[in-house]
Amino acid sequence: MATPTDNRLRRRAQAFLRRTGRGYAGTHDRPLRGYLAAMAAFGAYTAGWAAAVRLRGRPLPERPEPRDVLLTSVATFRLSRLLSKASVTSPLRAPFTTYVGPQGPAELHEEARPGTGKDTVGELVTCPFCVSVWVASTLTAGQLLWPRATRTAMGALAALAGADALQLAYGALVGRTTDG
């Protein structure tokens, strides 16, 4: 049962958060509570992976191997764009976004839907930079728990990124030779 002191502290904390939000956002709509929830979720997600690694008793490497950093970077880039922009993954984003139109080869422009929590999740799932934090953490944990399977999957994602670059280069080359 909450005491009068507890209620008073809760009301003061809520008032402080409202003032802080208004002072920060000004005339803009910034879902700070949603961002705070997303940060807490990421912290819990990362702690869960860390606990799984610890329970498995896997030793942490002295330092990351440069080739693993490069492979993780390329795989993170490709998987982040696949999750946040690809047409084929739009059903995953649809509950939190609104379709605006195409954006580049095989990619979509979507906007976050307004609403409790949907705006924050919508911003997260349409932002490849935001998604990449989650993807890099997942791939890193995967390398610690299932190194062979994770490296195989990352190799496939890196090959896909290379194929994408070649498709774009080929399209630009064809465009140059047929337009000129």
pLDDT in tens, 91-103: 999 999 999 999 9
* CA atoms of 63 and 52, how far apart (whole Å): 20
Mean pLDDT of the chain: 92
Instruction: Indicate the pTM of the whole model.
Output: 0.84
How would you classify residue 117: left for phi > 0, otherwise alpha for psi between -120 and 50, otherwise beta?
A: left
pLDDT (average), residues 2-22:
84
Q: Which residues contact 20 (CB under 8 A, 6 or more apart)?
A: 32
Percent of the chain with pLDDT over 70: 98
- Predicted confidence at residue 180, as pLDDT, reads 59
Per-residue pLDDT reduced to its tens digit, 109-132: 999 998 767 888 999 999 999 999
